[in-house]
């Protein structure tokens, strides 16, 4: 028991321990730099996705606006036939009944 507590390391052992730690730190530094590169790439991709979503939203809004105009025009065309028909029928009815001048 006292032997382990009082153990002294030689200079060589200390040097080897420091070199092992140095290698470990070097590996960790390399992994950290790789992680930083991946994070930068991820942030760039995330920014691109956000930009694409905004552009898509603008395009969808334009399509919706065009769609609304097309529906309005179709409604006008469809109901104008009925309105002209009712006016013609009213005129014809007035002619038959002698109400027209």
Spatial separation of the C-alpha atoms in residues 66 and 50, rounded to whole Å: 25
Tell me how many helices (H) and strands (E) the chain has.
2, 0
**CA separation, residue 51 to residues 38, 41, 45, 46 (Å):** 20, 15, 10, 9
Better-predicted residue by pLDDT, 100 or 58: 58
pLDDT tens, residue by residue, 20-57: 898 889 999 999 999 999 999 998 898 999 999 999 99
pLDDT tens, residue by residue, 59-100: 888 888 888 888 888 888 888 888 899 999 988 988 888 875
Spatial separation of the C-alpha atoms in residues 53 and 45, rounded to whole Å: 12
Domain boundaries, the chain: 2-97
Spatial separation of the C-alpha atoms in residues 94 and 88, rounded to whole Å: 10
Which pLDDT score, from 0 to 100, does residue 30 have?
A: 95
């Amino acid at each position: 028991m006292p032997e382990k507590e009082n153990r002294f390391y030689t200079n060589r052992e200390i040097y080897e321990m420091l070199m092992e730690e140095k290698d470990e730190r070097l590996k960790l530094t390399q992994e950290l730099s790789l992680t930083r590169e991946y994070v930068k790439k991820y942030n760039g991709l995330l920014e691109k996705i956000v930009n694409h979503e905004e552009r898509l939203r603008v395009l969808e809004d334009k399509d919706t606006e065009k769609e609304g105009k097309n529906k309005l025009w179709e409604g006008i065309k469809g109901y104008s036939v009925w309105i002209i028909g009712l006016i013609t029928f009213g005129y014809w009815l007035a002619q038959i009944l002698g109400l027209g001048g």
